[in-house]
Structure formats: C-alpha cells, structure tokens
Structure 1
C-alpha cells in the first residue's frame, strides 16, 4: 500500500535523536510521502533542511496560531518571500485556536487572513488549524475566497464538514479517530465523502489509542488507516489508495510519491 501522511511535524526536536530511524520505519510501514507544515518563522530553515535530507518529505511554510507570541507582522512579508523562492506544496500551518487561553483572537485573525491571501495569490492549498474555531475559519475562507486546502485534525460537526466540502476543503483525520469514545468524529468519518478524506498523524503529537502517552510518528499512520477502513466497512487498500490520490491531487504531488 502507498500512504501519504498529510500532516507530520517531522522537523520537530522530538525527532532529532532518531529522525533517520523514524523515517525508515515510516517507509517500511508504507508511507511514501509526508506533508511537513511549519509553525513559526524561526523553524523554516530547519524544516527546509529536513525535507531536503529525507525522501518523500514536502514542506509547507506558515505561522501557527499557537505560536502567536513568536510572530511579527514582518513575518508575513518574509513568508511571501519564502513561498516565492522555495515553492512549497502548501501554506501553513495556519488558522485559529479558540481553545488555548491567552491567544489574542484579533492577532490570530490578522496572521490567518494574511496567509489565506498568500495562498490565493500563489494558488497553493492551505493547511488549517481550527480548534474550537471552525465557524470562524469557515467565515475567513469565504471572505478571502478562491481557496482550497485541508482542515487538519478535524473536530467539528457533520454540518461544518459538509460546508468545508462545498468550499473545496478536505479533512485531515488522525489519532483521535482511534479512540472509541470519539463518537461524533467516528460518525463523520464513516459517512463523509471519500474524496474529502486525508489521513494524518500530526506527529509527534496526537498518538493513536495504542500509543497513548508516547511520541507519535508517521509509521503509526497504519493504525489510523485500519480504524478508518473499519468505520467505513471498506478494505484498507481502498482507503489507502483513495486518500493517497486525494493528497496527491491537493498538494500536487507526483502520483508515485
């Protein structure tokens, strides 16, 4: 099977000690490509290097809302320069987070809107973080217009999922779906259009139920695939092939990725 991990922070320091071994485990488990989104401007050079050093890693550059304290308005200008020079597969990770206390909503909106405009300008998909903020994210996407992308680690409602689908946005599904108590998410995954589905790990975060409390890694995407296939009553091979095609189409990856 060919799998794409559509959201992996493989440049994170948690992988510094064994990145090559973790990459080998991912490849052995069927991972042929990883989308690696950035979180802050200071991380862009390392992310670029990691993606260049390991086959199948594709960078996205952006400013994550949870790193708001690190962002400066000039970083949007620098991001434009990075996108123009480096030609990443996406803009992100960007978005809104209304869960974490102390993150200024207006400041988050400024950086999110700026990145959405850059994505539209460069005709790139966006990798969106939307925690307790799906309605606000939907409003922003509609306001800017002409966008496509993925809301990663989707945790919204079935109606919000349908609205995102109509706007051309896919949903990233990872470790949370493996927990039996995630009833709403499991129901959405069981019935959502297959062409809207992407698989992800969010490594090193959000491990599946079998690795609770451990560092997550791309090799564990196989467990996410297994659960999604069970929920949909479909063969794993079918889900793997479809989600890989979805990722290849959204991020303009080569079909052999």
Structure 2
C-alpha cells in the first residue's frame, strides 16, 4: 500500500535485526522500499539487499558526505556499475547524490564536481536521481537545470515554497518524512499541505529522521531514536490528516508519484508484485483534491 522512497536498510543500525525490520515494514503495509547507495564500497551491499527482500529496489550513487577521498575512479566505477545494472529490474536510478552545506569541513568545490559528474551519468543513461539537498537546495537545483536532468526526488525536502517550485518545474518530486510529523515544523507541514499532491512522495531516511512518536524530543532536527521503513505508514497518516484525504486515495497518489519519479520502479512492481499495488485512480483528481495546480 505504501512506498518508502528513501531508506538505508543496509546501515549498521540494522545489522542485528535487518530481516525483522523488513518484515515489520511489510506488516505495516509498506509494499515498496527504495535503497540508495552512498559510496562505491556499498554498491554490492544495497544490490544484494534489494534482491534479498521482495519489496526492495536500489539506486547507486556517491553521497556528498562520502565525497572526501572519492575521485575519478569512483565515478568510473559508478558509470560501469550503473550501465551493467540496467539489465537488473530492481535498479531504479542514481543516488544518493547531491550537496551538503550543513556538515562542516567538506570541500564545496569537490562536492560540486562529484555531483555534476554523477548528474551527467544519470543523463547519459536516462536515469532519475535521488538527491541530497541539505542546506543546498538552490545549488542542487541549478546543476539539475544546467545538466538537464528532469526526473527524480529531492529527498528530505526542507526548503522554501520557491525552492520547492524550482524542483517541481524541473520535473522532480519532493520527499517528505519524519520531519513532517512534528507539530511545530510549520514550514514543512504547510508545504506538504499546499503543494500539488502530485509533487509529493513519502520516505523515512531510516535509520535517520525518526518521526515524532519515536523521539524523546518534542521537536528538533536531531532525533536519536532509530527510524525504520515501517514508519512511512505513520508519515502517510500525518499527511492524510493534514490534507484531509482518506488513506486509500493517498496511497494511490503516492505510488503513482513514486513511479513517475522512478519509472523503472513501476516496471518492476507491475511485473513482480502487481497484487500489492493499490488500485488505480483517475489522474485528474485524488479524493476531492486536484493533483496539480
């Protein structure tokens, strides 16, 4: 019923109970989980994990926090691995890539080069991107426009309405997750309510960005509790309440939006587990709300 478009199930936080976590997500109605890589060193791990669990697909990329020490050899490996993975129906895109201007000490110029080169690979192979945009929305969007990538997801979006429109106009969806669940997260909740519904996808970023009900803190960016892909169902419940929209049409919209962002996901899902997909809904409206403005 639900899809988590961004989950690091390969992370060390899940080493003790990874299979149990995946099973709990399925029990919660999560029928799709997208696993982005963060470095060449974990390409094999995310691929193997995606093939281990029926609901999982994967992307390959170099995360901005992993750019120190990454160079041309890593980019060459990404291009080679992505090209070879086109024959794998569980491979859906290039990611997690982008820019991070929040963590101190990262080389902005080197980050930008690695990011731009990965965008070129995505364009060459006609693949969507999963984007890291922390404190970098304008710069990430500018490179998208310059290089001409027009499909994918701006993950964990936390920008302004104008920045949101920039990504939407470029053809991307915006990922909303745990931050949406905090009652004082006014800007995120307003965007999730007012943006066209067809601009939104759901995610967890597990094990990070735990929702309000898993956090000891009432509000804040640093949630120390472990997040899991099952929690995307709770994020969906909050979005449903904010938009005054029933769960079934919301699930239909979120799957349709996710497939629009990641077309290979749709091809895989329709072949491998069509019974798990929500019934289709008219493209023009979802419930009583317009899908696009």
Quick one: distance in 2 between partners of 1:176 and 1:250? 21
Match of 2:289 in 1: none
In structure 1, runs of 5+ residues without a counterpart are: none
Quick one: distance in 2 between partners of 1:70 and 1:153? 25
Moved over 6 A (4+): none
**1:33-112 map, 5 Å:** 33-87=32-86, 88-112=91-115
Quick one: distance in 2 between partners of 1:176 and 1:156? 12
| 1:150 pairs with one of 149, 153, 160 | 153
Quick one: distance in 1 between partners of 2:112 and 2:255? 31
Match of 1:239 in 2: 250
In structure 2, runs of 5+ residues without a counterpart are: 216-223, 278-293
Deviations along 1:176-208, whole A, 9 cap, x unmatched?
Answer: 000111101110000111111100000011010
TM-score normalized by structure 1? 0.97
Quick one: distance in 2 between partners of 1:103 and 1:233? 42
* More divergent stretch after superposition (19-28 vs 229-238): 229-238
Q: 1:204 to 1:146 in 2, by over 3 A?
A: closer
Deviations along 1:195-253, whole A, 9 cap, x unmatched?
Answer: 11100000011010001132100001111001111111111222111011111232222
Contact 1:3–1:33 (Cα < 8 Å) also in 2: yes
Corresponding residue SS for 1:10 = coil
Deviation of residue 53 (structure 1)? 0.9
Contact 2:101–2:135 (Cα < 8 Å) also in 1: yes
Over the aligned positions, Cα root-mean-square deviation in angstroms equals 1.1
Computing the radius of gyration from Cα coordinates, the structure with the larger value is 2
Q: 1:117 to 1:17 in 2, by over 3 A?
A: same
Deviations along 1:28-51, whole A, 9 cap, x unmatched?
Answer: 111111110011111111111111
TM-score normalized by structure 2? 0.85
Corresponding residue SS for 2:133 = strand
Contact 1:9–1:36 (Cα < 8 Å) also in 2: yes
Match of 1:174 in 2: 177
